Amino acid sequence: MTPFPLPATAFTLPFVAPFRGQEQRQGMIVQGPAAGEFAPFPDYTPEQDARWLVAAVEAAVDPATGPGTALPVNAVLPDVPDADLAEEALALLRRTGCTTVKMKVGGRSTGAELARVTTVQRAAGGDLRLRLDGNGRYDVAAARELLVALSWAEAPVEYVEQPCPTFAQMVQLKADSAIPLAVDETLRRDRRFGDLADAADVAIVKVAPLGGAVAVAELVGSLGLPVVVSGAAESSIGASRDAVVAAALASGDRAHGLGTGTLLAADLTADPMLPTAGAVVAARRPVDPGLLAAAESATPPTERREWQERLESAWATALAGELVPATTLAALDAVA
């Protein structure tokens, strides 16, 4: 087995509020001429891990810093209880200047979800576009009920993301939905799908889980749908790489889902990628060695070892599956 050729450091960063049921974000920073982030979620398969690692290596061997232009983004509401939602939304909108806001839906009654939407709408006052993410938690009947309720309420919903888990369910739903739909998990889990335009109006593209910039450029060309590049609750090392990839894609003035920096209570760079005036700066952020050392110390030794093993096994999977683009292998040969 070929050992992983670059130095990698495990990190643990606290979330502001639980995200995907977790209190902390863990992963590894891979260092070459630049830095890449390997931070697959605990429930990911070996193949998903391998794709993420390919993205991290591609970022680590690519020293390009990005255009430094302003990239419009949506703000992300943490999954706070109803009682805290108005205050949280108001603070978030003020701090970020975003008019597009993403929030999770699912797990509550339609009435309760609608009340949360109204709360955010009131907090925003005027200009608001909402992106609701169901993460596949609905069946078709329940999703339909939500979409009809949102439509009747004339809620300012830009789209509902992946309400149902499968491609076939999304197609059924889209046939009579007055509200635009987006696919996210479909692109990564359900790799065998038909014409995506039958299932959604927008495609959510996550750079690291899909395997990096080269993989994303190929995929976007074949989708035939408008694309929103979104983060995966990464530190600013991974998120700023995503922003540079997003800046290279034509997307009109549609906000990207890269305002996730506000979800973390700490970061790995002195210049975190946080939205201001509704945008982030599309430029790679350098690792701050002191902050990385602190985040490494926050990772118990057993977990550091588990991350190193996970990385080695992901690399073996990536090489065996020929998932690493030739350009990345060549750049790696030159530095490692």
62 versus 161: smaller Cβ distance to Mg ion: 161
Supply the minimum distance, in Å, between the C-beta of residue 128 and Mg ion: 19
H/E stretch holding 183 reads strand 181-183
Rounded Cα–Cα distance for residues 292 and 295 (Å): 5
Q: How far apart are the first and last CA of the chain?
A: 16
161 versus 288: smaller Cβ distance to Mg ion: 161
Given the residues 25, 116, 131, 206, select the one marked as catalytic.
206
| Residue 102 known to be catalytic | no
Rounded Cα–Cα distance for residues 149 and 104 (Å): 16
204 versus 287: smaller Cβ distance to Mg ion: 204
Supply the minimum distance, in Å, between the C-beta of residue 134 and Mg ion: 8
Supply the minimum distance, in Å, between the C-beta of residue 161 and Mg ion: 5
Q: Which residues of 196-226 are buried (b: 16+ CB within 10 A; e: fewer)?
A: beebbbbbbbbbbbbbbbbbbeeebeebebb
30 versus 203: smaller Cβ distance to Mg ion: 203
Residue number, nearest CB to Mg ion = 184
Residues that bind Mg ion (CB under 5 A): 133, 161, 184
Supply the minimum distance, in Å, between the C-beta of residue 331 and Mg ion: 31
Supply the minimum distance, in Å, between the C-beta of residue 230 and Mg ion: 7
Given the residues 104, 116, 241, 256, select the one marked as catalytic.
104
Rounded Cα–Cα distance for residues 20 and 61 (Å): 30
Q: Which residues of 156-187 are buried (b: 16+ CB within 10 A; e: fewer)?
A: bbbbbbbbbbbbebbbbbbeebebbbbbbbbb
161 versus 267: smaller Cβ distance to Mg ion: 161
| Residue 174 known to be catalytic | no
Rounded Cα–Cα distance for residues 123 and 45 (Å): 39
Just list the catalytic residues. Answer: 104, 206
